């Protein structure tokens, strides 16, 4: 475990350890942000009958047509039409038996209860302006597959298909532990040798849109007894995320505390910058597996590794088959230097077309992090690039502030 893993190697090992959340039924309208635990098949066809796609007349035969009634959405005509007859019909209304097309109102002339083609218009083709039964989806058809993220459109589709409740993966129980003697919970009571405990709150804010609020523990002092107590508080969690103390300095005790707690270290050190001292461990206890993700204590390192590891881990646990973030290639606004033997994630400021790195890239610089709205991905061993070249960029939900 002394060597550094590449980012893909570390992520692959992490996903192999991801706890698999069981399925739970939720009402469909409450499923936003959840991942399906099984395929969904339609319980009904949509539409369940032929419907008009336009306002006009449902006609039978070549015309002219005698107007004999009306069909409105939710109030069908209720009888058949014969050759030479028609009914007034509204968009979304059910087509009556015997009609096979719609003459739109702009192309029709009405006189004395008879409808005929307006001058210069031709008879519509069969099925013109008709939404055929089942054209959207048919009963029994699989409409959403396991692992699908439920958003507004997916919720609407599941409801339209007849599902009042659906099976989704349970949200994992998560604890976030801040550790370090220098950390103080209340920002107003910080002395010169201390700093406010902001990492845990930052991580929780990153997790909230995906998994709700985590249990926040700490700040925990740098001693084994305190760390043991903090871990015990999180013993019923599926995922524990620690910030700080994951390295091997004299006062970095998280690894030893985890071993004492019965956890097995999988790896630490990943060839990325920032974020090298990242640690993964697991604990089996009372038939439950807990995955522990140890993030570095520097705030930018903690943010970047949370984005690259913690969020994908939670997505994988919740059933997402493709949990990694997607990058886009945009134009570098300035020259970028060559990289060393670690993959670098520069805090970037993008206008959507171009991107430039934040002025300060130190892993402790919160001001620069707050100004960033993306991460610029620079692979290890990359040559210098010129302004105008394209670079890979990850958008981050960071509420970026304007640089001062």
Q: What is the pLDDT of residues 300-327, one digit of tens each?
A: 999 999 999 999 999 999 999 899 999 9
Q: Tell me: pLDDT of 251 over 60.
A: no
CA angle 328–362–294, rounded 5-degree value? 80
For residue range 45-66, list pLDDT tens digits in order. 999 999 999 999 999 999 899 9
Residue 173 has pLDDT above 90, yes or no: yes
What pLDDT was estimated at residue 401?
A: 72
Percent of the chain topping pLDDT 70: 97
How would you class 83 by CB atoms within 10 Å of its CB: exposed for 0-12, middle for 13-18, buried for 19 or more? Answer: exposed
pLDDT at residue 403, as a whole number: 63
| Cα 82-84-90 angle, rounded to 5 deg | 80
Residue 111 has pLDDT above 80, yes or no: yes
Task: Determine contact, residues 323/369, Cβ cutoff 8 Å.
Answer: no
| 275 conformational bin, left if phi > 0, alpha if psi -120 to 50, beta if neither | left
Average pLDDT, the chain: 93
Question: Does residue 247 have a pLDDT over 70?
Answer: no
CA 174 to centroid of chain Cα atoms: 18
Q: How confident is the model at residue 182, as a pLDDT?
A: 84
- Per-residue pLDDT of 74-83, as tens digits, reads 999 999 999 9
Asked whether residue 70 carries a pLDDT value surpassing 90, the answer given is yes
Q: Whole-angstrom Cα distance, residue 321 to residue 248?
A: 34
Reading phi first (left if > 0) and then psi (alpha if -120 to 50, else beta), residue 129 is in left
* Beta carbons of 100 and 52 less than 8 angstroms apart: no
First to last CA, the chain: 43
pLDDT at 353: 94
Whether residue 250 has pLDDT greater than 90: no
Q: Is the pLDDT of residue 114 over 90?
A: yes
Length of the chain equals 404
pLDDT for 69 equals 96
CA distance 18 to 138: 36
| Residue ranges of domains in the chain, CATH in brackets | 7-21+171-317 (3.40.980.10), 23-45+144-169 (3.90.105.10), 51-131 (2.170.190.11), 328-395 (2.40.340.10)
pLDDT for res 1 = 42
Asked, as a colleague might, if the bond just before 47 is cis with ω within 30 of 0, I would say yes
């Amino acid at each position: 475990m002394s060597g550094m893993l590449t980012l893909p190697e570390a992520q692959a090992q992490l996903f192999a350890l991801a706890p698999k959340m069981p399925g739970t039924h939720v009402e469909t309208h409450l499923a936003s942000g959840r991942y399906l635990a099984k395929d969904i098949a339609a319980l009904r066809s949509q539409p369940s009958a032929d419907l008009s796609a336009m306002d006009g007349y449902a006609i039978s035969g070549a015309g002219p047509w005698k107007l004999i009634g009306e069909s409105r959405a939710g109030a069908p005509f209720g009888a058949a039409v014969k050759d030479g007859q028609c009914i007034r019909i509204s968009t979304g209304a059910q087509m009556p038996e015997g009609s096979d097309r719609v003459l739109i109102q702009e192309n029709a002339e009405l006189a004395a209860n008879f409808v005929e083609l307006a001058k210069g218009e031709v008879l519509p083709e069969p099925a013109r302006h008709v939404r055929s039964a089942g054209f959207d989806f048919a009963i029994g058809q699989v409409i959403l597959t396991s692992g699908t993220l439920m958003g507004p459109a997916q919720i609407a589709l599941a409801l339209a298909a007849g599902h009042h409740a659906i099976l989704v993966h349970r949200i994992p129980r998560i604890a976030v532990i801040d550790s370090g003697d220098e950390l103080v919970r209340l920002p107003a009571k910080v002395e010169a040798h201390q700093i406010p405990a902001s990492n845990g709150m930052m991580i929780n804010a990153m997790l909230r849109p995906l998994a709700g609020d985590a249990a926040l523990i700490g700040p925990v002092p740098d001693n084994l007894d305190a760390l043991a107590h903090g871990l015990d508080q999180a013993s019923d969690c599926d995922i524990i995320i620690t910030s700080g103390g994951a390295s091997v300095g004299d006062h970095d005790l998280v690894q030893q505390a985890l071993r004492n707690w019965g956890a097995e270290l999988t790896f630490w050190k990943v060839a990325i910058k920032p974020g090298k001292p990242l640690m993964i461990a697991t604990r089996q206890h009372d038939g439950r597996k807990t995955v522990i993700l140890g993030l570095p204590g520097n705030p930018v390192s903690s943010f970047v590794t949370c984005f690259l590891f913690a969020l994908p881990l939670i997505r994988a646990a919740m059933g997402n088959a493709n949990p990694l973030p997607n990058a886009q290639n945009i134009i570098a606004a300035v020259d970028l230097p060559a990289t060393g033997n670690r993959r670098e994630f520069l805090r970037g400021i993008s206008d959507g077309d171009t991107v430039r790195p934040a002025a300060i890239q130190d892993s402790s610089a919160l001001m620069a992090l707050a100004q960033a709205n993306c991460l610029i991905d620079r692979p290890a061993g990359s040559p210098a690039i010129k302004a105008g070249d394209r670079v890979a960029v990850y958008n981050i939900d960071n509420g970026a502030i304007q640089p001062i």
